[in-house]
Chain A
Amino acid sequence: MPDHLGAWMDARFLTHSARKPTGAVQHYRRRCLLAACLLAILLAGCTSPETGRRASGREIEVQIFMGGYGLDFFEKLARTYEQAHPGVKVTLSGDPRIIDKIRPRLLAGNPPDVFWAFLPMWRLANGGALYELSADLATPAYGQQITWRQSFLDGPLSTAMIGDKIYFVPTDLSVMLMWYNVKMFRQHGWRVPRTLDEMLDLCERIKAAGIAPIAFQGRYPDYATPLLLSLFQRKAGGRPLYDVINMKKGAWMHPDLVWAAGVLQEMVNKGYFQPGCMGMTHTEAQMEFVNGRAAMVPCGTWLKAEQAGTTPKGFEMSCFNYPAVTGGKGDPSVACISMGYWCVPAQAVNRKGGVDFLKWVTSRANANEFAREKYTLFSIKDADKDLCRELAPAVATMKQARYTWAAMMSNWYPELSRRLNDSLSSLMAGNMTPEEFCRRMEAQAERTRRDRSVPKYTLPLPAGVEP
C-alpha cells in the first residue's frame, strides 16, 4: 500500500485520542482496500474487454447514419461477415443523428472502426482524422479477380480523391434525373423530351392540360443545381463545367452559364414550376408528384425509396436524363451523380478490421444486393443486376454516359454551396437576374479562392470530356 494512502486511511479512521490502529480499524481498512480493488477491477472491466477485442481484431465497431435505407441490410451484412470470418464480432449501430455520436469520439481519439455519416470528409481527411486507404485499394476485392480499386466505378471514385490519395470510398450512388408520371404521360400522349425545346414544349402542353409541369423542392433549392449545371454542360461542354466545379477564375461568368440561369428563371416565370413550390419541402413537392398534381419532379434515384410509403398503389414513375441543347457543344449522355462515403478513422482501434468490413460492404455481390433491396444504385461496377424497373432508365443512363460528374461544392466549399442555394432561391423567386446570379456566384467563388483557411480541391477531368 502506498505511504500516502496509508496515512490518509489512518487520518480518516483513527480517533483523535488513539492514533494507533486497533484490530477493528485494521480490519476495516482491509475491507475498504478490498472493496476499492474490486471496484477498480469492475471499472476496468467496463471498458477493456471490448477495446481489447477490437485491438486483437476480434471485434469491429461500425456506426452508420440511419436514414431511408434503415439498418436491416447492414445488420444482415454484419451477420454474413461474421459467418465468413469465424471468431470476429461486428457491432453495428445506427442513428439519424450519428454525427453527434461520432464527433465527440473523434475528438476523444476513440472513434469506431468504420463509419458512414454526413460529416465533412474532406475536412476530416485534411485534419488527419481519416486513415489513408490507397494501399488497401490495391489489394484484391472480395469475390473478384480484380483489385478493390478496380471494382469501383471511375466517376464516383474520382470524387473521393484528394490529390492522389483516397481516405474514403463512395458507396450508394444516385443519378440526378427528371422523374415523370408514366400513366399521365401515356394518357395524354406525351413523350419523354430529348431536347430542351421539346422539354419546354412539353411543359406548355402539360400546363395547358391544367396540371403543374414540374413539382419542385423549393425549400432546398440545390435540387435545381443538377438541372442548371446540366443545361450549362449541354450548351458549353464539359471543360467549362469542370472549371465551375474546380472554382477556376471567371468560370461562373461564362455566357452559357448566364444563359442556363436564364432558362431556369424563364421556366419559373412561364409557370412550368408548380405555383407555391418555393415554400415546399422535398417531401411536400414529391407528394405533389406522386399524387398526380405535377407531371415531373427533378430528383435523385432515391425517389422511389424515399416515397415508398406514400406512393399511391398503381402509380408508375420513371425517369430521364436532362435534355440536350440543340446546337450545344456538350454531350447529352453525360450524367450528374451524388454519393455517400464510408471511411475508416485514423485512430480506430481495429483499423484493419474496419477496412476489411468496408471491403465487404462494397463487394460486388453485397453492393448488388443493396441496390436491389434498397432501390438505389451503387458505386461498384456491375452491381446493377435485377434492379426494380423504375431504375432501368437510370442504369441505362449510367451505362450510356460518356462520363459522370458531381457538384462537389457542398462537400468542398460549404459557404459557396450555401451562396449557390440562396442565389438559386432568389433567381427562381424572380428577385435576381441571371447576370446578377452569376456575378454573385463569381464573387463568392473569389472570396473562397482568397480564403487561405479553406483547403482547395480539384475534381480530375474525366477521360473523353468535351472541349
Chain B
Amino acid sequence: MRHGERRMVVLFLLPACLLYGVLFIYPVLSSLVFSLYEWDGFSQQRRYIGLGNFTRLLADPMFWTGLQHNLFLLAVPTVIVLVAALFFAAVLTGRLRGARFFRVVYFFPNIMSMVAITLLWFFIYNPNFGLLDGLLGAVTGSKVSTVWLDPNHIMGSLVAPIVWCSLGFYLVLFLAGMESIPTTYYDAARVDGANAWQQFRSITVPLMWDIITMAVVFLVIGGLRIFDLIFVMALGYPNEQSQVISTYLYEQAFNNANMGYGLAIAVVLFVLVFAATAIAMRLMRREQMEY
C-alpha cells in the first residue's frame, strides 16, 4: 500500500472508529468505572466502594430470580423457534402452493416494533375482551377469563410473543440456507432410498449447521438481553414473577436511584452475554462442510 493510500484508508476509517469509540467503547468503559461507585445518578457526589456493588449483586435474590427468568426465556423460545423455523422452512422450500405468501406472512411481525407487538399481545391476553380467552371460550363453550398476565401465568405467556415475532426472521434465514443447497444431493439421496426425514437429518441439517449456530447465538443473546417485551407487558413495573436482569438493571438505575449498582448489573449482563455466546459457539462447533 502506498503512503497516500494508507492515509486515505485511515481518513475513511477515522469517522467510524470515532463514532464507535464515543458511542460504544467510552460508555462501556465509563459503565465499568461507575460500577465501582455508590452513586444515585442525579448528584455529583459518589463514593468509591470497589467491588462492593458486585458482592452485593451476588447476594441479591432478585438478581438470581431475574437470571432464572432469563434462562427460561433463553431456553424455551430458542428450542421452539429453531424447531418451528426449520420445519416451516423445509415445508416452504417444497412445492407448496402459496409458499411465497406464507413467507411474507411469517416475516410480517419482523417489520413491527417490539413495543407494538407487545401491546398487541397485551390485548390478546386481556381477560375481559382478549382474543385468547374469547377463542378458548368458543372452543370450550363456556366463558373463559384466565388472567394470562397474573403472577401464575406471566412467564409462560411471554413465550408466545417471543416465538411469534422471532419465527419469521429465522424462517427466512433457514430458507436462504436451504435454497442454497444443491438439489443434486437430494436427488442422489432419493436414488439411494432416503426418505424426507433422512434427507433432512443427513443433508439439510449438516449443510446448514453454520446458519443454525448463528441462529442459536442470536437467540441466546436475545434471551439474555430481553427488555422491551417485559417492560411494556409489565407496564414498567415487572414484579418478581416477571423480572429479568435488564429490567432489574433499569429499576435499580432509574427508579431506585442506584446508578452505580445498576451499572454493576449492566457489566455482569455484558459478561453473561459474552460468555453465553462463547459457550454456544463452542458447543456447536463442528467440522465445516463445503459444497
Report which A residues bind B (CB closer than 8 A): 99, 103, 106-107, 109, 119-120, 123-124, 127-129, 218-221, 275-276, 278-281, 284, 288, 414-415, 418, 421-422, 425-426, 429, 431, 453
Contacts and interface: CB of A to CB of B under 8 A. Distances in A.
A275 B145 contact: yes
B38 A127 contact: no
B149 A219 contact: yes
B145 A124 contact: no
Task: For chain B, give the interface size range.
Answer: 20 to 34
Contacts of A453: 38
Interface string B247-262: 0000100111100000
Interface centre among A107, A109, A280, A418 (most CB of B within 10 A): A418
Contacts of A278: 147, 150-151
Contacts of B147: 218, 276, 278-279
Interface string B106-125: 00000000000000000001
- Kindly list the 3 A-B residue pairs having the minimum CB-CB distance in the complex, ordered from nearest: A127-B43, A279-B147, A276-B127
Nearest to B127: A276
A429 B151 contact: yes
Contacts of A106: 42-43
B255 A281 contact: no
Interface of B: 38, 40-45, 125-128, 145, 147-152, 234-235, 237, 239-241, 251, 254-257
Given A103-B42, A120-B256, A123-B257, A284 B151 contact: no
Contacts of A422: 239-241
B151 A276 contact: no
A453 to B, nearest CB: 6
Given A276-B145, A422-B239, A453-B38, A107 B151 contact: no
Interface centre among A106, A124, A422 (most CB of B within 10 A): A422
Given A421-B239, A422-B239, A129 B42 contact: yes
B127 A279 contact: yes
Given A276-B127, A422-B240, A107 B44 contact: yes
A123 B45 CA distance: 11
A166 to B, nearest CB: 18
Contacts of A218: 147, 150
A279 B148 contact: yes
Given A279-B149, A418-B239, A425-B239, 7 more contacts: A107-B42, A120-B42, A123-B40, A276-B127, A279-B147, A279-B150, A453-B38
A441 to B, nearest CB: 13
A429 B150 contact: yes
Contacts of A426: 151
A269 B210 CA distance: 54
Interface centre among A107, A128, A218, A415 (most CB of B within 10 A): A415
26 contacts: A109-B44, A119-B42, A120-B40, A120-B256, A120-B257, A123-B257, A124-B42, A127-B45, A129-B42, A129-B43, A220-B235, A220-B237, A276-B147, A279-B126, A279-B147, A280-B127, A281-B235, A414-B255, A414-B256, A415-B256, A418-B239, A421-B237, A425-B241, A429-B150, A429-B151, A431-B152
B251 to A, nearest CB: 7
Nearest to B157: A279
B42 A123 contact: yes
A129 B145 CA distance: 49
Given A107-B44, A120-B40, A429 B127 contact: no
B235 A219 contact: yes
Contacts of A279: 125-127, 147-150
